[in-house]
Every structure is written in C-alpha cells, then in structure tokens.
Structure 1
Amino acid sequence: MGDVSGKRPTITHVIFDMDGLLLDTEKFYTEVQETILARFNKTFDWSLKAKMMGMKAIEAARVFVEETGISDSLSAEDFLVERESMLQSLFPTSELMPGASRLIEHLHAKGVPICLATGSHRRHFELKTQRHGELFKLMHHIVLGDDPEVKKGKPAPDVFLAAARRFEGGPIDSEKILVFEDAPAGARAAKNAGISEARQLPPRHSRSSLEFLNGFQPK
C-alpha cells in the first residue's frame, strides 16, 4: 500500500541523463544537422531539435528527414550514416558541463546511489566519455540506448525502468528517485516510468542549465 500520510517520500537515488546535462554534446548534433540541411537550403530549428532529443537514433532520424521535408532525397538510414562520419571526430572533444563534476562527486561522497540513463549507444558513449572516465566510474551503473532492456527510446519509460531495477536492492520505488534531464522527451519518459521527481533543465538556454547545476545543493 502506498503512503497515505500526505508526506513526500525521501529521495534516496538519483538518475542522470547525459547529453546536454553532464556533457556539452548537444551542440555537436546541432552543428552536424545544420551542415546536412544546408545542402537542401533548409534550416534546423529549436522545435525540431527538442522533439528529437532523447529518442533512439533511428527514431530521431525519421523525425528529422520527415519534418524537414528531405525524406525523398535522403532516407533516415542514409542520414545516420552521413551524420555518424562527422560526429565520430567531434565526440572525443566532449567537455563536461560546468557544475556536473561537483554535483556527481558530492552525491557520491554522501553515499547517494547515482546512475546514468542515456539514449547514447555504447560506441558513442565511449567516445564522449573517454576524457572523463574517472567521473563516470562513480556511477553505480550505466544504462545505454542499445541496452537489450531498452526496447524503445524516450519518451518511453524503458531506460528509466531498467535504471531503477539495477540499483542495489532494486527495483527502487519510483517515488524515491530524482531524475535530472534536459530534454522534454526525457522528462516525459521519467513520468511514464512513474517518477514524479524530475528536474528538467532548459536545454535551449544552456546558461540556465549551468547555473542550476552549479547552484544545486543536494541534501
């Protein structure tokens, strides 16, 4: 039976998204997609980017080619191949978002179990984090977009449900989990997983996100 006292359960576990939240990588996707669209005299706007964020790659690619009107000239699969070749050279230069390291290290030092739940596939994750391995080792576990348990990308709840199950003693009660996200699809995925405590940072205004991470005071 759930808590009927009216008191909010104590947060005991934290799940982080990665791209645009812990790592400043969203700019790479924007840069590459703008380059591809320029060939078709098209522009890449924020509303489309927000819709794609958090999705599995092929799902996002289908949205991209359909909504930009280039699907007759470039298939979703060919778009991914072209994009991949450009991203491979950019991902190893990924930088941590200011405040991210401090927050993760603080939570780890306080004994708060933390994990990562990202739509990135393993090959991309390894490229993006190769300069920040020590920090990501502080995660109790990491759930990636190509994990066998993640059948559907965000906003489906798969990645967060898998993350909650893999904590020691899991699955952890969703009411005791705090999620940090930057994408609307990610925030919806958390809600769909039954997690009511989700901090969605404003990805369009990266400075606001940085200030939030720098100013967040975990208990």
Structure 2
Amino acid sequence: MSYKPVTHVLFDMDGLILNTEDFYMIGYQEVASRFNKNFTFELKCKIMGKQTHELASSVINELNLPLSVDEFIVETRKIFDKLFLQSKVMPGVEKLLRHLHKHKIPMGLATSSSEETYNLKVKNHHDIFELFTYKTWGSSDPDVKRGKPYPDIFFVAAAKFPDKPSPDKCLVFEDSINGVKAAVAAGMQVIMVPDPRLNRKLASEATLILSSMEDFRPEVFGLPAFDDIKSE
C-alpha cells in the first residue's frame, strides 16, 4: 500500500504516548465492582476517545450504575489522582517525538483528556510533552464540540498550526477505534498502535496498524528517516 507524504503530525495521548489506558481499566472496574458489575475490555474499546462526561454517561448506562455522571467522575477521579502519577511513556514514543522535533516537523497533541487530568498524567514527563508546541484537550477546549469518533478535535488541533495545513497533510497517531474513525472523518491518514487484545478487524479504516511505535518508519510518509537507519 502506498502512503501520501505528510508535513504535520498529531498525537493522541492515553494508551499511545502514556500507558494511562491501563489505569482507566483499573479505576472503572473498582467503581463497577462496588455494584457487582464488570467493566470489560469490550466496553473500554467502545468508550475510548470520548469526552469525559460522554464517557462517564456511557459507562453508567452500559453497566446500569446507580450514579449520576458527576458522581461517577468524582469517584473515579479519586482513584486516578493516585494512578496517573505512575504513568510511563510507551515504547518507541520518545525516540519518535525527539526525532520529529529535531527535524522541525510540526507536532500537535490531540487528547480527549481534560487539561486538569493531563497535568496529572504528565507530571513526571514534562520534558517529553514540552516538545509539543500545540496542545488540544478535548474535554476542556470549548471549540471541540463533540468527542471522538467525530472529527472535531483533529480539526481544532490542525487549525492551531500557523500554516493551517490541509487535512491530507496531517498524519494522526491513535490507539482507539473511535480515534481512528475521528481521524478518517477529518480526512487525515491515521496510524493505529492498538492494545494487543484488540481485534484489528474492528479498525479496518486505519491507514496502517502497528504493534508498537518502535515499528514506525517515518520515511514511508515522506518524513525524515531516523538518523540511525542504515542502508541495506
């Protein structure tokens, strides 16, 4: 398959840059267990990428929990306040971000997280996230009217680049089905690095699916190759 060259790159955060999706699974299950409910991986896949209130509403409705959206957010936030501080950078991420930054490739963060939870997650990783000149927090930015799978966040994120690139010049990195759908709806190519448990057939719209960010070859999309690449 041939890929179109790009000039700008947009990154999701949870489950892609940081391993925070693992913590969501733990936190939601802890609350669900109080009511003898099970928060499954399948449900997690359905809600990934949604804005905070929409996500909370989906979990409550799916599991029939006797909580309001605000109550659910408060209860899970107590758990996440501790868990998020343990976040780690996913394999291959730092190498790619530093490489793109070195070569002055414009990069933007497009996460459905709120700015408040973002600050918790990145507390021990400021050096990595300082590489992003432009950041969009889907659950805080009033311009992002709808969460993924709608394309709003990627339109807003791309518009922050001073040269206003067209969608076909933007490459998106995602780990969720909703994120892939949002990027495709925005007219952008999208690389998916999913949880290994995900059935890849559910993400057939992705431009490319990788098992790890370590497998990404920038030159395939017209970006500078890694400096340590040796000709074969």
**Common fold, TM-score beyond 0.5?**
yes
Task: Give the CA deviation at 1:119.
Answer: 0.5
Cα drift, residue 128 of structure 1: 0.6
Preserved CA contact (<8 Å) 1:99 1:210: no
**Residues 193 and 213, structure 2, Cα contact 8 Å, conserved in 1:** no
User: Out of 186, 192, 195, which is 1:200 matched to?
Assistant: 192
Change (3 A) 1:112 1:205: farther
Q: Give matches, 1:1-219, under 5 Å.
A: 9-70=4-65, 73-145=66-138, 146-170=140-164, 172-195=165-188, 197-205=189-197, 211-219=211-219
Q: Deviations over 1:144-199 (max 9, x none)?
A: 121121111111111100111111211x111111100001111111112121x111
Question: What is the CA-CA distance between 1:86 and the residue it aligns to?
Answer: 1.1
Do the aligned partners of residues 90 and 210 (structure 1) sit closer, same or farther apart at CA in structure 2, a change above 3 Å counting?
farther
Distance 1:156 1:60, change over 3 A: same
| SS of structure 1 residue aligned to 2:218 | coil
Deviation at 1:210, TM superposition (A): 8.4
Q: Is the contact made by 1:18 and 1:118 (CA closer than 8 Å) also made in structure 2?
A: yes
Alignment identity in percent? 39
Cα deviation for residue 50 of structure 1 reads 0.6
Shift of 1:80: 0.9
Give the TM-score normalised by structure 1: 0.89
Q: Shift in Å at residue 16 of structure 1?
A: 0.4
Q: Deviations 1:120-148 (Å, cap 9, x if unpaired)?
A: 11111111111111111111201112112
Q: Deviations over 1:193-217 (max 9, x none)?
A: 121x1112222449x9985211212
How far apart, in 2, do the equivalents of 1:29 and 1:101 lie?
22
Distance (Å, rounded) in 2 between the aligned partners of 1:194 and 1:210: 20
RMSD between aligned alpha carbons? Answer: 1.9
Aligned with 1:135: secondary structure?
helix
Residues 119 and 144 in structure 1, CA contact (< 8 A), matched pair in contact too:
yes
The residue matched to 1:32 in structure 2 has which SS? helix
Return 5+ residue gaps in structure 1 as ranges: 1-6
One-letter amino acid matched to 2:143: E
How far apart are the structure 1 equivalents of 2:212 and 2:56?
30
Equivalent residue letter for 1:83: T
Q: Which moved more, 1:157-166 or 1:73-82?
A: 73-82
**Conserved in 2, the CA contact under 8 Å of 1:181 and 1:200?**
yes
Shift in CA distance, 86/19, structure 1 to aligned 2, threshold 3 Å? same
Counterparts of 2:3 and 2:175, CA distance in 1? 24
With normalisation by structure 2, the TM-score equals 0.84
Shift of 1:8: 6.1
